[in-house]
Each structure stands twice: as C-alpha cells, then as structure tokens.
Chain A
Amino acid sequence: MASPAVVRTILRTPAALRPLLLRAPRAAYHEQHHDQATPYGDAERTILSHALAYVPAHGFTQEAITFGAKDAGYLDVSRNLFPKGTFDLVMYHLVTQRQGLKDRIQFPDETMGVGKKVRSLVIERLRANADAGVVWRWQEALGVMSLAENIPASLRELGLLSDEMWFLAGDTSVDGSWYTKRASLSGIYAATEVFQTTDQSTEFKDTEQFLDRRLEELRVTGSAVGNTMQWMGFQGGALMNMLRSKGVRI
C-alpha cells in the first residue's frame, strides 16, 4: 500500500482531488442508474411475470400471455396490452435476467482475472435460462427475435447484456478495445446460447466446454492479429527508412 509508486501518485495529485483517489475506479460510462428503467409499466410486468411461468409448458406464445393475464386478474382480451405480442414476453425475460445478473453472482475473490470472471458470468447467465425452464423453448424465442421488425431491439439487448457482463467483471478499458471486447463477447454469448438449446449433457457441461473453446479462439486470434499488425508496422517502418537512405524525400 505504501509503495513508492502509490506515494508518488498521491503527492502528484492536487490536494483538492485526492479524495477521488479513494474511490475504486469504475468505468463512468456504464449506465449504473439507468439500467433499472424498463419500458414496461406495472400492469405489463405483472402479466408477463405470470406468463413466464407458463412458458415451459406452452412456449413463447400468445397462449402463455393469455394464461398469464388470467392469472394476474385480467381478461383474455387483455393480451392486446402487448403490441408486439410474444416479442414482449421474450424481451421481458431478457431484461429481467440481465438486470438480475448482478444479484446472482458476486466476486468476493479480488485476485480472479477479468477473463475468468467473464467466463463465470456467461455460465451464470446461461444457468439462469435453465433455471427459468426456457432452454427447451429458446429456439422459439430466437425465431421471434429474428423477425425483421424485432432485430434492432434484440441486438440492442444483446449489446446491453455484453456490456453488463464486462462491467461486472471489472473491465476498465478506455480505448477502442472497449468496443471490440463487447462486440466479441456478444458474438460468443449468442453462439453459446444457441448451442445450449441442443445440449443434452448433465449440467450443461458440453456448453461450458464450447464456451471455453470460443474464449480460447478469441484469445489466440487477438494475439495473432496484434502480432501481425506489429510485424506490418515494423516492415513499413523499415521500408520508409530504406527509401530515405536512398535519398527519396519522404
């Protein structure tokens, strides 16, 4: 704690700003306060939460919504409260699972690396799908999400989930890698979720191995791309210098 580097940092900071050093660094652009806003009012939330209980038996269909409405004290005709129909049910599931992710998993061990935390978060989110009983109905949900009018909202929700996972894992990047990390995790998560829908192994062991392979590929590709760019940089610099040594004015 009292290492020379730390002492130097403290002494270099203006006195007025030193209290700021006491706070743990957080990515200030994560929506800490806004993530609780949902586009659904109380009535919709009540009906949809009841409807989710019927999804394992009836799938992501209007029947599930109708049963949910009846359970919540509404009428059959109250399914008109959802202009996007079954997509509202899917979106409600996605939003509540994303917002519940921080309550499902905590990281008391501070020495765990960011990569390992990300892996745990993905697995926990997939387990949440299994706990809700929707895994065997998830292909229906994916079908609804891939309808043309629903694609923008679905991709946005995937991006928000990926952001949430990186945030909970403690990512503090402030450069372009912020975007590439989220994009790559979105892809990996989507692929793993699709794989899970056909996974019959105990406790989804095959899905975990699939995830490990994807993360390994990401790591290897990332370093390969980085090394290639570095090599090209060296070659380009060497070419410039050689031309200059021949008298070319560049």
Chain B
Amino acid sequence: MAALLPHLPKRIRLTPSSSTQWICRTCQQRRAFTPSSTALQTQPPPRPSQDDNKTTHFGYETISSTLKASRVGAVFSSVASNYDTMNDLMSLGIHRIWKDNFVRGLNPGIRGERKEGQRILDIAGGTGDIAQRMLDHATLVNDDKRTHVTISDINPEMLAEGRKRFGNSPYRLAKRVDFLEANAEDLSAIESGSIDLYTVAFGIRNFTHKDVALREAFRVLKPGGVFACLEFTPQLSNPVLNGIYKRWSFGAIPLIGQVVAGDRDSYQYLVESIERFPSQGEFRDMIREAGFLIPGRNGVDEEGERMGVGQGWEDLSLGIAAIHKGVKPV
C-alpha cells in the first residue's frame, strides 16, 4: 500500500504493513498497531474478561479505564472540524434522515398554553445538529417558543463547533440554547429532576461506563421524563447484508478518513467502537436496569416474561442504527 502512494503529506499517518511497536515517550506505554487494511477484521478479538473497574475497550484495544476518556477526547478533537462532512461521507448522507426520524419521533415541544417550556438535555451533542433539529421542530411544528436545549459534551472542540453553528441565530439570542462542558457520567452541574428529555445521539458508545451514564440520566430526568438514544448496532440481523455492511465499515470508512481528513486511526477507532457496542436487546436491558420503563415492552405475560407490542427499540436502515427510549416512572 505504501508503494502506491509515494508522495504523502506529512500529516497522513500510514500503518505499515507489518505490525510495529513504538513507545510513547511521554507516557512510557507500549502501543501495538495492527494493520487493518490487510485483514478486514469482521471478527473482533475475544473480549478479555474485563474487570470493569480496571480495563475497558477502546475499539479493539484494551486499555485502562482511566485513560479511555482522554483517548476518546483525542479522537474527537481531531475530527471535530469536519465532523459533519465526515458523517455525510461515511453514511452517504443517511445520518440526516436518521436524525430527522429521531427528532420527529420524539416530538419535542408542547402545544397549547403552558407555564413552562420543555427542558431538553442533549448529551455528546457538541456540534449541535440534534439540538438544532429539536428547536426547529418545537418552534415550527408545535408552535412552542419556550423549549430550551442544553448541549453538553466532554470535548471543548466539539462544543466550539456547536457554538459556531448557532452563532447569532434567533435561538441563541432568545437564550434557548446553552452549552455545557461535562462528562456524561458526572452531570452534577444539572440538578436532579429538572430535565424533560435527555437525548444522546451517536455518543453513548464512547462512554467509559455506560451504566453510570444511564444512572445519571435517570437522576437528572423529571418523573415521566424520557431518555432517548440513537446509536449504531454491532450486527445487522441479516448475515448477507451484515457481511456487505462490515466490508464497507472496515474497508471504506478508515480510507475515507485517511483521504479526506488525514486521520485514519480516528475512523478506525470509530468503526471498532461500533463493533464493541452491546446488541439492541442487551442495551435495552441496561436501560431497564437503570430504572426506566421501556416503551413497547412493558407488559408481563402469564409466565412472567416481558412482552409488549414491540421489541423495545426501533431499528433504522435494516438495523444499522437503532433508537432506544426509556421513560422514568412517576
């Protein structure tokens, strides 16, 4: 591969065709880069029996839990400036449809006279695309001019993109949008029981401890409030389509990242982190364990098994992404 591209700008880092080890001098750690272009890795390495407190996964690597947040931070700092363009390229523009569907399904905004507007918290929503859609829907569809969205992200570069997007828009001037730099596992800046709608779109797979984040979500939501999550799924249900999808993910996406953004490793991390995410059923159970009621899966049949009108999540695009929702009981 290196022979085909003899003249490379310095910023593009190519993984050599054999595995190498190099030592990061500042942190005295070994890192092994395995080539991803030679073997399309559709089988992730067997998950090490992880003690949740000590190690976690970072894509296919296993790293110490304390380091994950900073590694993820590094990834998103480097992709922040062209995050939206990269999303368009990777999903061929379909991510816009997913996000529109997500927001329309949630139907934010209150019709009619109400004393207070809805308070929405968008987690890991640094660039503000979900927040923009929420405010547009509430204002234009439900004629609600009092909805307020707080955009929260752990990464200041992503938040800066969000601030740029809102610029001097009417929402910003009417103080309907706020920016908060916070870790989703520790939202102490937000008081308990103050949020109507908590959303996280394509962010939760990067969290070190998803259950902690879910419990924080439970805490900040008002009784009756809704937790909504839009996220990629690790496998499609149809094996043939899954094969095609994985070839695209592991083959094309890091390549697009390398060619367009000059950052293959970040996009390699992104597709690997999707592979590591729990399946829809497992994630639904995690949401239920945090205390939420699952829409469409709340009934109990004669044998005591959970049942309902649906599975408890909504698949998008044949299962590439899924919407999970939970309602905090009163």
Which residues of A are at the interface with B, using a C-beta cutoff of 8 A? 33-34, 37-41, 43-44, 62-63, 66, 69, 72-84, 88, 91, 153
In the complex, A153→B223 CA distance in Å?
31
B203 to chain A, nearest CB (A): 19
CB distance from A78 to the nearest CB of B (A): 4
With a cutoff of 8 Å between Cβ atoms, the chain B residues found around residue A44 in the complex are 298-299
Residues on the A chain within 8 Å of B57, using CB: none
Nearest CB in chain A to that of B197: its residue: A77
Instruction: Decide: A33 near B224, CB < 8 A? Known: A74-B330, A83-B295, A83-B310.
Output: no
The answer on a CB contact under 8 Å between B225 and A77 is yes
Pick from B293, B301, B314: contact of A43, CB below 8 A. B293
Known: A41-B300, A69-B224. A77 touches B330 (CB 8 A): no
Query: Is B122 interfacial (CB-CB < 8 Å)?
Result: no
Taking CB atoms, residues of chain B closer than 8 Å to A40 are: 298-299, 308
Evaluate contact between B224 and A77: CB separation under 8 angstroms: yes
A43 vs B330: C-alpha distance when bound (angstroms): 9
Sample of 15 more A-B contacts, CB < 8 Å, known A82-B296, A153-B309? A34-B302, A37-B301, A41-B299, A41-B300, A73-B223, A74-B224, A75-B196, A75-B222, A76-B110, A76-B114, A80-B107, A80-B295, A83-B309, A83-B314, A84-B296
B271 in the interface, Cβ–Cβ < 8 Å?
no
Partner of B309, one of A43, A69, A88: A88
A76 to B197, CA, bound (A): 10
Q: Tell me, in angstroms, the Cα distance from A208 to B31 when the chains sit together.
A: 82
Please tell me if B118 contacts chain A, counting CB pairs below 8 Å: yes
CB-defined contacts of A37 to chain B, threshold 8 Å: 299-302, 307
**Range for the number of chain B residues in contact with chain A:** 20 to 34
B327 adjacent to A43 (CB under 8 Å)? yes
Main secondary structure of the interface of A (DSSP, over half): helix
Q: In the complex the two chains form, is B330's CB within 8 Å of A39's CB?
A: no
Which residues of B lie under 8 Å from residue A84 when comparing CB positions?
Answer: 296, 309-310
User: With the chains together, A62 CA to B308 CA distance in Å?
Assistant: 20
**Residue in A34, A37, A66, A78 with the greatest tally of chain B CB atoms within 10 Å:** A78
A16 vs chain B, min Cβ distance (A): 30
Closest to A79 in B: B107
Tell me which of B228, B301, B330 has the highest count of chain A C-beta atoms within 10 A of its own C-beta.
B330
A148 to chain B, nearest CB (A): 16
Assess whether B108 is interfacial by the CB under 8 Å rule.
yes
Q: How far is the CB of A244 from chain B (nearest CB, A)?
A: 58
Among A33, A41, A91, contact of B298 (Cβ-Cβ < 8 Å): A41
| B104–chain A nearest beta-carbon distance, Å | 12
CA distance A83 to B296 in the complex (A): 6
Most chain B CB within 10 A, of A62, A77, A153, is at A77
- Interface flag for B281 (CB, 8 Å): no
B308 near A81 with CB under 8 A, answer no
The reply to whether B299 and A43 form a contact with Cβ atoms under 8 Å apart is no
